[in-house]
């Protein structure tokens, strides 16, 4: 379990502001971090090496950045000697089971402590509000790990159920779209819609095979957001290479490309649940946005081609 870094916390905090209505004024840690703890002081303070389990909400302006309702609770090891580095780790030793806390992280202070740099989602004068509710305390890492595993299994199952519901909704939209355009499509094994203009004549795309693909990706509105062909994007003329089944690409690619052989060309109509989901990606791909990819399978092989261009993050 890693300690939460300043930039990570500044990019992944959580909070409802209701706790601010609790009694008492805000205090400051040695590094200047503002915080307030709401406690009945009935439970003992945690000891070094124990683990707190807490729910959280991170908010800046009117936007919730992250919350345990979506991502599951967080776990942190108690370290009373935590470095005063403008980080919520400074206050965890003061929190008892059942306590709530509000932490205020000031953007201008983050800028000063990080060489004048701010995360993209923050502006000067912004304040990030982190609300914490401690729901359990574990004496050892093994106990905390076991609880985290059980908890995450529940959240993952919930996420899978939500993704399946979203996929069905997405496919209804995509099927209506291709029908309105008189486009003939096939369904890939997991449901991605595929328009095949040339199935190819070489080796079949399948699990464990390395595929190299030339592509252009666009939104349903026709906004091109990436391409291996257009010179205004990175790596023009270089196909994207990944292993089928190896999670090197979005699920819609892994699914839809299985209908092609080497040399195949076509178009993938990808439900958002098989693309970037409710998170979206960058400015062009909104949450729960279905995507269209024009693809050409230029290589199918058993091993990674020596000349392959792999780009971080997958497609």
Question: Which pLDDT score is estimated for 308?
Answer: 58
Read off the tokens for 283: 């400015």
106: Cβ–Cβ under 8 A, 6 or more apart, which residues? Answer: 34, 126, 127, 128
Residue pLDDT, tens place only, 199-233: 999 999 999 999 999 999 999 999 999 999 988 88
Name which of 1-15, 164-178, 247-261, 285-299 the model is least confident about: 1-15
Distance from C-alpha of 165 to C-alpha of 156, rounded to nearest angstrom: 14
User: What is the pLDDT at residue 15?
Assistant: 36
11, pLDDT greater than 50: no
Q: pLDDT at position 113, please? A: 83
Share of the chain above pLDDT 90, in %: 67
How many residues comprise the chain? Answer: 315
Comma-separated ranges of CATH 3.10.50.40 domains in the chain = 6-139, 179-301
Would you list the DSSP string of 164-208? HHHHHHHHHHHHHHHHHTT---EE-TTS-EEEEEE--SSSBP-TT
pLDDT band at residue 50 under the 50/70/90 scheme: very high
Backbone angles phi, psi at 135, to 5 degrees: -110, -15
- Please tell me the predicted confidence (pLDDT) of residue 39: 94
**According to the model, what pLDDT value does residue 315 have?**
58
Q: Is the pLDDT of residue 14 over 50?
A: no
C-alpha distances (whole Å) from 259 to each of 196, 205, 250, 256, 295 are: 8, 7, 16, 6, 12
pLDDT the model gives residue 2? 37
* Distance separating alpha carbons of residues 305 and 119, to the nearest angstrom: 37
d(CA 128, CA 199) in angstroms, rounded, equals 51
**102 vs 115 pLDDT, higher one:** 102
pLDDT for residue 19 is more than 50 = no
What is the set of active-site residues?
A: 215, 225-226, 250, 276, 293
At residue 24, the pLDDT reads 56
Indicate if the pLDDT at residue 314 is higher than 80. Answer: no
Give CA–CA dist 254/244, Å, rounded: 6
Give CA angle at 207 (206, 213), nearest 5°: 60
Lowest mean pLDDT among 12-21, 182-191, 292-301: 12-21
Rounded mean pLDDT of the chain? 87
Can you give the pTM of this predicted structure? Answer: 0.64
Alpha-carbon distances, residue 28 vs 23, 32, 87, 105 (angstroms): 16, 5, 11, 11
Q: What span, in angstroms and rounded, lies between the C-alpha atoms of 34 and 206? A: 54
Q: What are phi and psi of 304, to 5 degrees?
A: -65, 120
**pLDDT-above-70 percentage for the chain:** 90
Q: Quick one: pLDDT band at residue 307, thresholds 50, 70, 90?
A: low
Statement: residue 241 has pLDDT above 50:
yes
To the question of domain 6-139 being in CATH 3.10.50.40, the answer is: yes
Q: Give domain 179-301's CATH architecture.
A: Roll (3.10)
pLDDT value of position 20: 38
When mean pLDDT is compared across 95-99, 116-120, 152-156, 175-179, the lowest value belongs to: 116-120
**Is pLDDT above 90 for 187?**
yes
């Amino acid at each position: 379990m890693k300690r939460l870094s300043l930039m990570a916390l500044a990019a992944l905090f959580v909070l409802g502001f209701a706790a601010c209505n609790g009694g008492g004024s805000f205090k400051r840690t040695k590094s200047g971090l503002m915080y307030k703890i709401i406690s009945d002081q009935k439970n003992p303070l945690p000891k070094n090496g124990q683990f707190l389990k807490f729910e959280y909400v991170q908010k800046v302006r009117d936007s919730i950045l992250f919350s345990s309702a979506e991502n599951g609770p967080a776990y942190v090891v108690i370290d009373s000697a935590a470095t005063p580095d403008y980080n919520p780790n400074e206050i965890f030793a003061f929190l008892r089971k059942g306590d709530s806390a509000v932490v205020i992280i000031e953007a201008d202070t983050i800028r000063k402590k990080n060489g004048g740099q701010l995360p993209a989602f923050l502006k000067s004068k912004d304040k990030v509000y982190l609300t914490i509710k401690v729901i359990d305390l574990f004496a050892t890492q093994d106990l905390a790990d076991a609880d985290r595993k059980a908890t995450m299994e529940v959240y993952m199952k919930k996420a899978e159920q939500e993704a399946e519901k979203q996929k069905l909704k997405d496919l209804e939209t995509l099927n209506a779209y291709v029908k309105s355009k008189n486009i003939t499509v096939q369904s890939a094994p997991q449901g991605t819609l595929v328009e095949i203009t040339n199935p190819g004549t070489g080796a079949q795309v399948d699990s464990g095979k390395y595929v190299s693909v030339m592509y252009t990706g666009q939104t349903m509105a026709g906004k091109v957001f990436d391409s291996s062909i257009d010179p205004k994007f990175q790596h023009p003329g270089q196909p994207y290479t990944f292993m089928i089944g190896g999670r090197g690409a979005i699920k819609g690619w892994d699914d839809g490309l299985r209908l092609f052989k080497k040399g195949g060309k076509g178009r993938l109509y990808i439900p958002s649940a098989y693309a970037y989901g409710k998170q979206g990606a960058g400015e062009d791909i909104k949450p729960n946005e279905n995507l269209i990819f024009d693809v050409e399978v230029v290589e199918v092989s058993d091993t990674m081609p020596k000349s392959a261009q792999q780009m971080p993050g997958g497609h």
